[in-house]
Structure 1
Amino acid sequence: MTDHDRQWLEAAIALSYQSPPVSFAYAVGAVVVGPDGARLATGYSRETDPYVHAEEAALAKLTGADLSRATIYSSLEPCSTRRSRPRSCTQLILAAGIRRVVFALREPPLLADCHAVELLRTAGVEVVEFPDLADQVRAVNGHLLLPDQSP
């Protein structure tokens, strides 16, 4: 964990506020950062359609790029189960070759049973969690979560 990780994760959380609130999904922001520390792409929930997830939106902007040394910062643990698309965000991250994921809040079991941390680590991906930023993610998702609700 570095100060840069915290800064990029805070940027992802800030992006999540652009997500239109809906009753069936969380508001999430994501930033993909290259090995040199430069931002490669951003995304947020419902950026391009009512069902797009933040990580999906960011990764779609980087089709064909070598992301093997990139880090994806997501305000919420990437989904591991998906009803609205054929592949979960965890599957998209793995397919993109990203080897490092940083997030603030594990997905609460309200909408799905998420196992992204375990799936990513099993695949050899470094997973870093900043639980001290989780309350900020809960706040943007107040339409679904109470501020003190624990996953």
Structure 2
Amino acid sequence: MAKPFLGVGLKFPLQWDEAGNFQQAYYEESVHQSIWVILSTAKGERVMRPEFGCGIYDLVFEPYADLTLGQVSLAVQEALLQFEPRIDVLDVQIDSGSDPSTGLLLIRIDYQVRATNNVFNLVYPFYLERSAL
């Protein structure tokens, strides 16, 4: 079933089809890719939109502690609330895995697409600097 109300955009990263045209991301895939772009962009990275992005990159050198994990969760929720109006964030969970010394945080985001009420999740890997551990 077509869902044009969710939008269509360029695939990220940019990809081309056999005819040399840019491939497009449709509907829920467009939403998923938008979330990934928001999380992958540090605030201040975009010249014409310095406020765009996620504040998790301000926390890279913070010590590995419950407070930092809470700040990561809050930064993700705030960024998605501000920059992705097509979703409701249901839950953000941070998993440090079995070996916190790697600095790897797996950020699991459960979200609901407002227009369809379909629920999805996304796991975004993020690294704290090891010297902060």
Q: Normalising by structure 1, what TM-score?
A: 0.29
Q: Higher relative contact order by CA 8 Å / sep ≥ 6: 1 or 2? A: 1
When Rg is computed on C-alpha atoms for both structures, the one with the higher figure is: 2
Q: Judging by fraction of residues, say which structure has more strand.
A: 2
